[in-house]
Structure 1
Amino acid sequence: MAWDEWEQIRANAAAHQSTAMRLNQLASTAGGGGAGKPDLASSPAAKKAAAKAIDDDLEPGVTRDGRHAAETTNTAVRSFGAKDGHGWDASRALKRAHETWEKQVQMLLGRLSSEKQALSATGISVQNNELDVAARLARQSQIQGN
């Protein structure tokens, strides 16, 4: 490895450490994570609380309310439906609208689930990245005999 490459790696590592220290300082200030937004979930505890809120409140609420909407819409579709061979156009329109709405609810539940997983895994991802960088630097250092 050329001396210039080693100097570049050291400079990058120093910049990374400096950035991490600044981020830690921002997270520990009274106002939160900077830019005047104290509601940003930047600490592990806040991320865990946000994931718990999704799990305990949002997902069950969306599921419960979706079930209720499905029941009432199905009742309306049946009441406007054909009883004597002729039904209202509203029945078919409600059914199509409800099918679209159900897809949107499923997409919302999927998004909530992925956000919950991302909030739960953020600390692990950062730690894994740091371990990976440390391992790469250690390998490079061993090559140089340090």
Structure 2
Amino acid sequence: MAWDEWERIKSDSTAQQSASTRLNQVAPGAGNGGVGRPDMASSPAAKKAAAKAIGEDMEPGVTRDGKHAAESTNAAVKEFGPKDGHGWETSSALKRAQETWEKQVRMLLGRLASEKQALSATGISFRTNELDTTARLARQSRIDGI
């Protein structure tokens, strides 16, 4: 391999590396932090408001609407059911659909409850992490003077 060819390969390699690994900072306002912006933000007030909305609006609404659908379906099952010994197959199909509906409503209520609990616990978790980090930094600053 000639010396000139080696120099050309090194130059090409350096040019490729510098172009592909050239990220020193995020441009201001480009999202995900940037200059003057925190890397992570947590809004306890927003989490509390979301948990409150789940508990006061969504869960009661799902419960109410789930019961309303069950009442309407029960009425339809009764109407299509056997009166003179013969009933419509629609009655049994509606009954199965109602059972599926009730299961889905219970699952949705369970999911809402877990989301509400997670929103409430997140604030506590962030605060605990913040206190822990502050304590560790305070311990480190005492050692720095030695």
The TM-score normalised by the length of structure 1 is 0.63
Do the aligned partners of 2:47 and 2:123 also contact (CA within 8 Å) in 1? no
Give how far 1:85 is off. 1.1
What is the DSSP-based 3-state SS (H/G/I as helix, E as strand, rest coil) of the residue aligned with 2:38?
Answer: helix
1:101 pairs with 2:95: no
What amino acid is the match of 2:100? T
1:41-120 mapped onto 2 (5 Å cutoff): 42-120=42-120
Unaligned stretches of 5+ in structure 2? 1-36, 141-145
Q: As a proportion of its length, which structure holds more helix? A: 1
What is the distance in 2 between the residues matched to 1:129 and 1:81? 60
What is the distance in 2 between the residues matched to 1:81 and 1:118? 44
Which one has a bigger Cα radius of gyration?
A: 2
What is the distance in 1 between the residues matched to 2:85 and 2:98? 23
1:22 pairs with 2:27: no
Percent identity between matched residues is: 76
What is the distance in 1 between the residues matched to 2:137 and 2:48? 31
Aligned CA-pair RMSD: 2.8
